[in-house]
Amino acid sequence: MGTIDPARLPKHIGIIMDGNGRWARMRNLQRTAGHKEGLKSAKAVIGRAAELGIQYVTLFTFSTENWRRSQDEVKFLFNLINVYLRKEMDFYRKHKIRVIHTGNTENLPEQVRKELMSVRDDTADFPGLTVNIAINYGSRDQILRAISRLFENGQKMVDEKTLRSCFDNPEVPDADLVIRTAGEKRLSNFLLWESAYAELYFSEKLWPDWTGDDLDTAIIDYQGRTRRYGGAE
Ligand code: IPE
Ligand code: IPE
Ligand code: MG
């Protein structure tokens, strides 16, 4: 296997962390146990991304479609977010990680909204990796909210730049690399606009089995690709 070229790192990596439920089922555990284990992978992968000097990672944590799951599972996921988001303050400080949120805040539980705002404020000055947590996030919802904002401003003509400037975090650039774990090969409404020219990387491994080394492998694979953006060599 090759090594990572620090001069050609993807600036923004999006990760669809999938397979928590299957990881648990294989062990005869509740799906929730898989989510808890998945949290460890998130920490390991984020730690590695920070170490490598990656600038942005967007973590798909809860989609606008995930409300279809049982009430118990939804409740468990939000509780996990509430408990762990700020608990990791030492970890953010150590790695200089800034935490931001993307997604629709309208129907988020009040406590989750508060935790997200508070962790955003507490980490706002950290200069390292920006972790963009996608909670109650769906690309279509993001695009529609941006369009609504433009309408509210009285805008009648829209170009890519103005639309993009109305996204939740306009400073987060387009994705260079989108990773999905657990063998599924779809985007499930994740970063549709931002991944127009992203390289896609699919891993058979379930998310709770992912480690920092798997991120290295994905980045090395990415660095072996030729990005043409429609041009010719
Ligand atoms: C991803 O794992 C976590 C979330 C979507 C919150 P899943 O819970 O989708 O795991 P599988 O796909 O059922 O294995
Ligand atoms: C996508 O995974 C959402 C997150 C990882 C948060 P899902 O497991 O919900 O996606 P589908 O339903 O298999 O497409
Ligand atoms: Mg899944």
Query: Bigger pLDDT: 185 or 157?
Result: 185
What one-character-per-residue DSSP string does 21-33 give? Answer: HHHHHHTT--HHH
What is the pLDDT averaged over residues 132-148? 98
**What's the token pair of residue 31?**
């799906």
Confidence (pTM):
0.98
Band (15; pLDDT cuts 50, 70, 90): very high
Place of tokens 């620090």: 6
Band (233; pLDDT cuts 50, 70, 90): confident
CB 78 within 8 A of CB 32: no
CB 103 within 8 A of CB 189: no
Residue ranges of domains in the chain? 8-137+174-181+194-223, 139-172
Closest residue by Cα to residue 222 from 6, 10, 1 = 10
Q: Is the pLDDT of residue 78 over 90?
A: yes
**What's the token pair of residue 149?**
């904002």
CATH topology classification for 8-137+174-181+194-223: Undecaprenyl pyrophosphate synthetase (3.40.1180)
Between CA 67 and CA 95 the distance in angstroms is 32
3-class secondary structure, 177: strand
Q: Is the pLDDT of residue 224 over 90?
A: yes
Q: Which atom of ligand 1 is nearest to the CA of 23?
A: 14
Q: Which atom of ligand 1 is nearest to the CA of 31?
A: 8
Sheet containing 177-180: order of strands: 98-102, 130-137, 56-63, 12-16, 177-180, 199-202
Between CA 83 and CA 125 the distance in angstroms is 22
pLDDT of residue 194: 98
Residue ranges lining ligand 2, Cβ < 6 Å: 16-18, 60-63, 66, 184, 186, 188
Burial-class residue 180 by CB neighbours within 10 Å (0-12, 13-18, 19+): buried
Residue ranges lining ligand 1, Cβ < 6 Å: 17-22, 62, 66, 77, 182
All residues with CB under 5 Å from ion ligand 3: 18
Between CA 38 and CA 40 the distance in angstroms is 5
- Is 79 a catalytic site residue? no
* Number of residues in the chain: 233
Closest residue by Cα to residue 141 from 66, 196, 81, 70 = 66
Burial-class residue 227 by CB neighbours within 10 Å (0-12, 13-18, 19+): exposed
Which ligand gives the minimal distance to the CA of 65?
Answer: 2
Between CA 192 and CA 159 the distance in angstroms is 17
If you take atom 14 of ligand 2, which residue's CA is the nearest one? 188
Per residue in 33-77, pLDDT (tens digit) is 999 999 999 999 999 999 999 999 999 999 999 999 999 999 999
In the set 5, 18, 169, 214, the catalytic residue is 18
pLDDT of residue 163: 97
